[in-house]
């Protein structure tokens, strides 16, 4: 089993931008050290021993930095680790309105300001596309913990297996391997970045948001977005496979009750939030103390659900969000205290390797009494089976692949034509400029014609050259712009074709294994929808890959932005909220990631 060198939880500080940043109270020293000064409390008497300066050492201070940099420093390592098979957690903690949701999810509907979750999704699928030696299975879940109740934020999606809490309701359950899972929480298989973003936006729509004195869209709950990754080697025909869980956690805001004076429902919410955060703090304190053998995870739903995600077998990163104004310096201090406790928690991540029961069965039977268990006839050659698959089970995705190839070929032909056109125009511009220059030189040597008013007079031939040059330049600019668009379109079509091809091959592999290589009794298990997963992807999901050409024309030069906006808009349309359908403000803004 591979392991990563044990270390501590990584902790970063991120500040919400404000014009009133309390520079005299909060001091950043070397990119890692934060000093906080607080005025002595006069109500406690003139003479008191209260300290008024604190120093905290963290892994990094993210002050005035872009979402992209935050992801690069905080998220990327954890995400890449998860693709390798290491569990990972990125968690945002801090007072209400300090920027936790902005950090983890990002500003709603803005590609540049998307947060860690959409970027992590993009990275996971990028890696999946790159790693052709493995097949990946990516599933998502989105859990909300509101007033000590577990809520499935993706329960509204009909037709997903495992959806619905079942008779016992939702609950955190301990697993034999020491981890935890949530009974009744729906898991959704996703095949592309766009499908995954659809689910994220769907879940966002369902979150419980309240208005708070410090944040008009305050999240009144804890949310855990989890990417479950499973990978099998394509080349090694062994039963081993690797799984990992990537948890992206947005905690509810920590707030002193006295400060905001909530009432009614808000008071109840605030009490639940504070209680669960204080249990979280107790669990962290216990985890940081190596002499402790009991960690009080079961005190709250939050700590129980995060049992296997806070240090231990997990790459854990905490972002401590602060709102650095003088009025909030106490919250800043308490956030930093929490962060420095968290930093003492040890991590010891290992790759989560398992053995596939189906393949193990196959290998086992194959080596002992193959004739009893393996299918009676020998499997057909793969090339023939592939042709059959394309004509039957895989016909829909194969049709989409063919259609996309046709569009790609058309786009390429158009690109060639335009490139030739641009080159021809450029040559004409050059030759017309040369002729004009020569004409001018000749005129200069003969002397310039001047009108009766003393204005230089253009010769008719020279005038026609000047006009021709102007027209050519206008035409060149138009062609160039068109060329730029068609290039982006070609890239995007190529991306879709690659995606369809990978999908066709992956589905064929699953179908071939299940149809010809598995023992008949195992095939029967798969058919009856037993505990063993079927490998085929439903056709309606495959259809979602269909190329919606017109809709993408606007967004042609940035495929990943296209995916982001398309998923966002689809969710907004489906849910029918009064949210804006978002399109990029201008192509320039879209392509330059802040």
Name the one residue in this structure whose structure tokens are 């080596």. Answer: 367
Work out the angle between the directed axes of helices 264-288 and 329-342 (0-180°, nearest 10).
Answer: 40
Provide, rounded to whole angstroms, the least separation between the CB of residue 90 and ligand ATP: 14
98 in contact with ligand ATP (CB under 6 A): yes
Q: How many CB atoms lie within 10 A of CB 109?
A: 18
The residue among 17 and 538 lying less far from ligand ATP, judged by its C-beta, is: 17
Considering only residues 10, 16, 301, 503, which one is a binding residue for ligand ATP as defined by CB under 6 A? 16
97 is annotated as contributing to ligand binding: yes
Considering only residues 12, 56, 86, 102, which one is a binding residue for ligand ATP as defined by CB under 6 A? 102
Considering only residues 17, 166, 379, 530, which one is a binding residue for ligand ATP as defined by CB under 6 A? 17
- Write each residue from 224 to 253 as x if it is in contact with ligand ATP (CB under 6 A), else as -, in one continuous string: ----------------------------xx
The interface with ligand ATP within residues 248-307 (CB under 6 A) comprises 252-253
Q: How many CB atoms lie within 10 A of CB 44?
A: 10
Q: Which stretch binds ligand ATP (CB under 6 A): 214-222, 426-434, 451-459, 568-576?
A: 214-222
75 in contact with ligand ATP (CB under 6 A): no
CA geometry: angle at 430 spanning 444 and 447, to 5°? 5
Provide, rounded to whole angstroms, the least separation between the CB of residue 390 and ligand ATP: 48
Q: How many CB atoms lie within 10 A of CB 166?
A: 11
Considering only residues 107, 173, 327, 543, which one is a binding residue for ligand ATP as defined by CB under 6 A? 107
In whole angstroms, give the CA distance from residue 383 to residue 278: 61
219 in contact with ligand ATP (CB under 6 A): yes
The residue among 85 and 97 lying less far from ligand ATP, judged by its C-beta, is: 97
Nearest by Cα to 483 from 553, 584, 414, 552: 414
321 in contact with ligand ATP (CB under 6 A): yes
**DSSP track, 188-216:** EEE-SHHHHHHHHHHHHHHS-EEEETTEE
Q: 3-state class of 282 per DSSP?
A: helix
Provide, rounded to whole angstroms, the least separation between the CB of residue 247 and ligand ATP: 17
In whole angstroms, give the CA distance from residue 558 to residue 430: 32
Considering only residues 87, 96, 313, 347, which one is a binding residue for ligand ATP as defined by CB under 6 A? 96
The residue among 25 and 252 lying less far from ligand ATP, judged by its C-beta, is: 252
Considering only residues 10, 73, 100, 188, which one is a binding residue for ligand ATP as defined by CB under 6 A? 100
Provide, rounded to whole angstroms, the least separation between the CB of residue 323 and ligand ATP: 8
101, containing H or E segment:
helix 100-104
In whole angstroms, give the CA distance from residue 234 to residue 132: 8
Q: How many CB atoms lie within 10 A of CB 362?
A: 21
Count of residues touching ligand ATP (by CB under 6 A):
19
Provide, rounded to whole angstroms, the least separation between the CB of residue 257 and ligand ATP: 15
Q: Which stretch binds ligand ATP (CB under 6 A): 93-101, 134-142, 502-510, 576-584?
A: 93-101
Considering only residues 73, 119, 212, 232, which one is a binding residue for ligand ATP as defined by CB under 6 A? 212
DSSP strand pairing (209-212 vs 215-219):
antiparallel
The residue among 261 and 521 lying less far from ligand ATP, judged by its C-beta, is: 261
In whole angstroms, give the CA distance from residue 407 to residue 546: 12
Considering only residues 215, 226, 479, 510, which one is a binding residue for ligand ATP as defined by CB under 6 A? 215
The residue among 70 and 288 lying less far from ligand ATP, judged by its C-beta, is: 70
Name the one residue in this structure whose structure tokens are 């379109």. Answer: 489
Considering only residues 88, 94, 184, 349, which one is a binding residue for ligand ATP as defined by CB under 6 A? 94
Rg (CA), the chain: 31
Beta bridge partners of 174: 180
218 in contact with ligand ATP (CB under 6 A): yes
99 is annotated as contributing to ligand binding: yes
Alpha carbon 65 to chain centroid distance? 19
Provide, rounded to whole angstroms, the least separation between the CB of residue 22 and ligand ATP: 16
100 is annotated as contributing to ligand binding: yes
366 is annotated as contributing to ligand binding: no
Q: Which stretch binds ligand ATP (CB under 6 A): 89-97, 262-270, 417-425, 501-509?
A: 89-97
In whole angstroms, give the CA distance from residue 385 to residue 377: 14
Output the six-digit token pair for 64.
């005035």
In whole angstroms, give the CA distance from residue 312 to residue 175: 16
- Specify whether the CB–CB gap between 330 and 298 falls below 8 A: no
203 is annotated as contributing to ligand binding: no
Provide, rounded to whole angstroms, the least separation between the CB of residue 68 and ligand ATP: 12
162 is annotated as contributing to ligand binding: no
Q: What is the DSSP letter of 348?
A: -
Provide, rounded to whole angstroms, the least separation between the CB of residue 270 and ligand ATP: 11
In whole angstroms, give the CA distance from residue 577 to residue 571: 9
In whole angstroms, give the CA distance from residue 56 to residue 62: 14
Q: How many CB atoms lie within 10 A of CB 315?
A: 25
Distance between terminal CA atoms of the chain? 39
Provide, rounded to whole angstroms, the least separation between the CB of residue 147 and ligand ATP: 15
The residue among 12 and 512 lying less far from ligand ATP, judged by its C-beta, is: 12
- Write each residue from 333 to 372 as x if it is in contact with ligand ATP (CB under 6 A), else as -, in one continuous string: ----------------------------------------
CA geometry: angle at 421 spanning 416 and 427, to 5°? 130
What does the binding site for ligand ATP look like in residue numbers (CB under 6 A)? 16-17, 94, 96-102, 107, 212, 215, 217-219, 252-253, 321
Which residues fall in the annotated binding site? 94-101
């Amino acid at each position: 089993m591979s392991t990563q060198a044990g270390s501590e939880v990584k902790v970063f500080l991120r500040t919400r931008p404000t014009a009133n940043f309390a520079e005299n109270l909060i001091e950043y020293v070397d990119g890692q050290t934060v000093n906080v000064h607080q005025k002595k409390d006069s109500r406690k008497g003139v003479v008191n021993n209260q300290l008024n300066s604190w120093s905290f050492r963290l892994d990094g201070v993210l002050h005035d930095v872009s979402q992209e940099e935050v992801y690069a420093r905080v998220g990327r390592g954890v995400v890449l680790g998860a693709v390798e098979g290491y569990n990972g957690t990125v968690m945002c903690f801090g007072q209400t309105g300090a920027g936790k949701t902005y950090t983890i999810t990002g500003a709603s509907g803005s590609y540049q300001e998307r947060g860690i979750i959409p970027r992590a999704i993009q990275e996971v699928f990028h890696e999946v596309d790159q790693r052709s030696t493995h097949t990946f299975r990516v599933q998502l879940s989105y859990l909300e913990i509101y007033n000590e109740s577990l809520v499935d934020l993706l329960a509204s999606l009909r037709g997903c297996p495992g959806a619905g809490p079942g008779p016992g309701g939702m609950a955190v359950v301990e697993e034999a391997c020491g981890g935890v899972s949530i009974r009744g929480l729906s898991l959704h298989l996703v095949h592309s970045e766009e499908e995954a973003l659809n689910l994220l936006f769907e879940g966002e729509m369902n979150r419980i948001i309240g208005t708070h004195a410090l944040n008009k869209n305050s999240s009144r709950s804890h949310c855990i977005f989890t990417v479950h990754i499973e990978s099998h080697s394509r080349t090694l025909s062994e039963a081993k496979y690797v799984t990992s869980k990537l948890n992206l956690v947005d905690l509810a805001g920590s707030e002193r009750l006295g400060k905001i004076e909530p009432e009614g429902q808000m008071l109840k919410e605030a009490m639940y939030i504070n209680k669960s955060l204080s249990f979280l703090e107790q669990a962290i304190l216990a985890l940081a103390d190596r002499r402790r053998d009991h960690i009080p995870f079961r005190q709250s739903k939050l700590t129980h659900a995060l049992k296997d995600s806070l240090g231990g077998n997990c790459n854990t990163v905490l972002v401590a969000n602060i709102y650095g104004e003088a009025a909030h310096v106490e919250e800043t201090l308490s956030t930093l205290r929490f962060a420095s406790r968290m930093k003492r928690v040890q991590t010891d991540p290992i790759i989560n390797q398992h053995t596939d029961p189906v393949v193990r069965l196959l290998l086992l039977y194959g080596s002992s009494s193959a004739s009893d268990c393996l299918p009676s006839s020998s499997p057909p050659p793969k090339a023939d089976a592939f042709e059959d698959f394309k004509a039957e089970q895989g016909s829909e995705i194969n049709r989409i692949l063919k259609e996309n190839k046709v569009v790609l070929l058309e786009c390429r032909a158009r690109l060639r034509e335009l490139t030739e056109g641009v080159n021809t125009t450029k040559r004409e511009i050059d030759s017309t400029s040369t002729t004009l220059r020569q004409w001018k030189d000749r005129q200069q040597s003969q002397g310039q014609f001047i009108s009766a008013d003393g204005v230089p007079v253009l010769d008719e031939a020279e005038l026609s050259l000047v006009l021709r040059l102007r027209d050519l330049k206008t035409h060149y600019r138009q062609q160039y712009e068109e060329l730029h668009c068609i290039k982006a379109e070609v890239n995007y079509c190529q991306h879709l074709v690659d995606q369809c091809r990978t999908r066709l091959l992956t589905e064929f592999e699953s179908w071939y294994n299940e149809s010809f290589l598995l023992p008949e009794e195992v095939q029967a298990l798969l058919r009856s929808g037993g505990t063993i997963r079927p490998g085929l992807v439903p056709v309606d999901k495959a259809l979602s890959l269909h190329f919606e050409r017109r809709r993408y024309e606007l967004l042609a030069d940035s495929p990943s932005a296209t995916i982001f906006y398309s998923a966002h808009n689809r969710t907004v349309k489906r849910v029918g909220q009064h949210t804006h359908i978002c399109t990029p403000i201008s192509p320039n803004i879209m392509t330059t990631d802040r």
